Amino acid sequence: MKIGNVEIEKTAALAPMAGVADKTFRELCKDFGAALTVSEMVSAKGVSMGDKKSGELMYISEKEHPSSIQIFGNEPATMAEAALCAAKMKPDIIDINMGCPAPKIIKGGAGSKLMQNPELAGRIIKAVSSAVDIPVTVKIRTGWDSDSLNAIEMAVIAENNGAAAITVHGRTKEQMYAPPVNIEIIKKVKESVSIPVIGNGDIDDAFSAAKMYETTGCDLVMVGRGALGRPWVFQQISAYMKNEVILPEPPVSQRMLIMLRHIENICNDRGAKIGMREARKHALWYTKGIRGSAEYRRQMSTLESIEQLQEIAFKITKENE
């Protein structure tokens, strides 16, 4: 499939997850076959003020392409300025966040708060798409709550104001991440616009990805929480989509090796102190559901060194041989 002039495999994209989808994780998911990676969301206001962290969040490595930088904000001019800055990092796509339900983002009038102001949303999309010469996409939810399901209206506005594709997370802002995912609205959005539609929500294996494709007719699927501690999910989806091959979950020994590779790369990129702090949540995700890991998971919540993690990984592997 294509977003603008950007060709993307019709397998699965990695969702933009704040505090998770950093460069290290995006590269790892890319190694396992992610068709598209999207940065953590970047504050347009932070970019306009020269905030160092915002600048760092926009960094994209060569191996990530095709890739997208996601920005958020509620002022058309500031969003256009941020898009221009983001474009200097050479992404293939600029994505606008109009779906984040986090209270801090909502309070600032951004994210899914824009679902309540379609007119402003349209002006933001137009300002951003007019400012850059690469495709601009928009990520939305089904609506603010069950009484205001306006994803179709938002999608049409996005297309009319220059968006090259739309991602629909099949939940309302009020749902946050609680079930169910509204597949029917994603299908209706697809039927209402001529630009590509990306389906998102509870995709965590090849079967749920295939169901999203088949039920909605969407052009691409996006995996978020389903990739936490399971970057190989992209390999599984790709194998099924291309050849109808069902790949099993990797053995515990391989899971532990992937975990160690991931954490070591975080430490190499960001230093041991920050890396090990980040390692704690990732280690818990990698060991979820593994037999006999309860005590080791408790220890992982206070990880201090890569050696400590290596020792735990060795013991978990030995217990599951």
Is 4 within 8 Å of 135 (Cβ atoms)? yes
85 part of the active site? no
Q: Tell me what percent of the chain is helix, strand and coil, each rounded to the nearest 5.
A: 50, 15, 35
Nearest-5° angle of CA 314, CA 317, CA 321?
140
CA dist., res. 79 & res. 127, Å (int) = 7
The CA dihedral of 20, 203, 201, 234, to the nearest 10 degrees, is: 50
Torsion sign (Cα): 284, 224, 259, 232: positive
CA 31 to CA 33: how far, in whole Å? 6
Catalytic residue among 29, 85, 100, 218: 100
Beta pairing, strands 6-7 & 93-98: unpaired
| CA dist., res. 256 & res. 268, Å (int) | 18
Under 8 Å between Cβ of 111 and 72 = yes
Mind telling me the catalytic residues?
100
